[in-house]
Amino acid sequence: MAPPRNRRPGFSRRAQYGLFLGYVVLVAGAAIGAGMLLLSTFNPPAFAVVRGAVSEVTTPIASGLSWVRHGVSDIGSGVSNYFGVVSENARLRKQLADSQTLIERASTLSIENRRLRVLLGVRDREAESVVVARLVASSASSTRRYATLNAGSRQGVQAGQPVRGPAGLVGQIVETSLNTARVLLLIDPESVVPVRRVRDGMPAIVAGRGDGMLDVRSASLASVVFRDGDIFVTSGTGGIFPPNIPVARVAHDARDTALARPTANPDAIDFVLVQKSFLPEAKPTNAPAIGK
Amino acid sequence: MSQGESLPFIQEPIPRSRWLAPLTICAGSLVTALFPAVATFPFLPPSGLLMLLGWRLQRPDAIPVWATALLGLFDDLFSGQPLGSAMLLWSTCVLAIDVLDTRLVWRDYWQDWLLAGGAIGFCLVAGRFLAAPFAAHVDTALLLQIVASCALYPLATRICVWLDPVPEER
């Protein structure tokens, strides 16, 4: 490669100043970048409005591309389903007969459970759903794991709301614009979810690792044993995630901190469900003075 | 020497790269925002940065120096990194390449590739420490991403040369 032609702009003062000014602006730009970086490190939602505005433009295109991609990837599975349908039918019939007794037992237990709850007077909060939408794009070149949801504040989505798929928890809304929202996925290195073990209700914390897997850490006791296949569901602690959404399945036997696989693969899900925060933040009220 | 410098009163036609370069770099940044998949690890190369390096090393006069900061800001809006990181890192890369250009008078293709590889590695590693906590287990994926991005650099230069071929008389 020949030496660049703009290295010496010649005797023109104007060209010399222009080149120098270019470098001054570049260094100033880098300094502004560093300042913005500091601001967004200490206050992550600082530039949510700007990001939301550009995402309003790109998300419709991404939605179209995502629709095309899902359509194309459905063709293959559709063809293979067509040819596998007879054997699958026989297998499912057998499975149905096998699980019939189990279902009957479970339904009697469910009825009994409901009766006992009424007797106890437990007040249940139902997790209200906000909207069903698609995850259309993600931060695929970054080490952070964000996804873009094609529904926003106009559809009732608000920051902090949990996002779940049919198989389990997917993440949490962090930023919204009018028609799009940004989801912090469960597998992001800064995501933390309070959970409990299905088997015995032991409290734990699930943290993302950044490589698609999760870390399960025991929340209370020391020397906790995690078994391969232990399933963890949200505990409802903290009031953001409704209880009993499947989160993680432990991959190997371990002590204190275990490697786990998320139960929901965000890329394989067609639609996700955004729910209201389980217990919304308490608003300051003008409480009447007690004792007067 | 080009025609315009020997004959100062004849306006040199604005080369195509002058407007194509920023456009293709922005298009590279948009790839991340439009790619229809939900990634579980960083698998896409930083395509905006690849296009920037391709243009900077193939056609040093294609992008005005100051434009790098703006292009970095544009990339930050889509990449998922904290805002300002590409603005800072891309500007640093371009400054470093300019300094090296005064030392290396004549670069060959392999030196270009080495420079690009260094810039890609620097941007991705620094971006990882700016965006993700130190304890995150992203380093294997990051290493693969760096290798893949360096391997894709020749493609970026191909695109640049294809968009703005060198005229015969130069």
Nearest to A58 among B30, B91, B105 (CB): B30
Min Cα–Cα distance to chain B from A279, Å: 29
Q: Do B60 and A46 touch (CB under 8 A)?
A: no
Residues 6+ apart with CB under 8 A from A123: none
Put simply, whether B41 touches A (Cβ < 8 Å) is yes
Residues 6+ apart with CB under 8 A from A150: A59, A60, A62, A63, A133, A134, A136, A179, A180
- Of the ranges A111-125, A134-148, B81-95, which one carries the lowest mean pLDDT score? A111-125
The rounded distance, in Å, linking the Cα atoms of A211 and B138 is 6
Residue A43: other Cβ atoms inside 10 A: 10
Chain B residue nearest residue A214, CA to CA: B137
Nearest to A211 among B130, B135, B138 (CB): B138
Chain B residue nearest residue A189, CA to CA: B136
Q: Which residues of B82-114 are buried (b: 16+ CB within 10 A; e: fewer)?
A: bbbbbbbbbbbbbbebbeebeeeeebeeeebbe
The rounded distance, in Å, linking the Cα atoms of A215 and A262 is 10
Q: With contact defined as beta carbons under 8 Å apart, do A130 and A274 qualify?
A: yes
The rounded distance, in Å, linking the Cα atoms of B107 and B111 is 6
Per-residue pLDDT tens for A64-76?
998 898 888 888 8
- When scoring A23, A39, A141 by the number of chain B Cβ atoms within 10 A, the one with the most, hence best to mutate, is A141
Nearest to A30 among B60, B88, B131 (CB): B88
- The predicted model gives A81-94 an average pLDDT of 86
Q: Which of residues 91-150 of B touch A (CB under 8 A)?
A: 91-92, 94-95, 98, 101-102, 105-109, 112, 127-128, 130-133, 135-138, 140-142, 145
Min Cα–Cα distance to chain A from B3, Å: 12
Put simply, whether B19 touches A (Cβ < 8 Å) is no
Amino acid identity, residue A38?
L
Confidence (pTM): 0.83
Q: Which of residues 149-208 of A touch B (CB under 8 A)?
A: 185, 187, 189-190
Q: Do B142 and A1 touch (CB under 8 A)?
A: no
Interface pTM (ipTM) of the complex?
Answer: 0.83
The rounded distance, in Å, linking the Cα atoms of B166 and B57 is 14
pLDDT by position in tens, chain B (length 170): 444 455 556 666 777 778 889 999 999 999 988 888 888 889 999 999 999 999 999 888 888 889 999 999 999 998 888 999 999 999 999 999 999 988 887 888 899 999 999 999 999 999 999 988 888 888 999 999 999 999 999 999 999 989 888 765 44
Q: Do B40 and A267 touch (CB under 8 A)?
A: yes
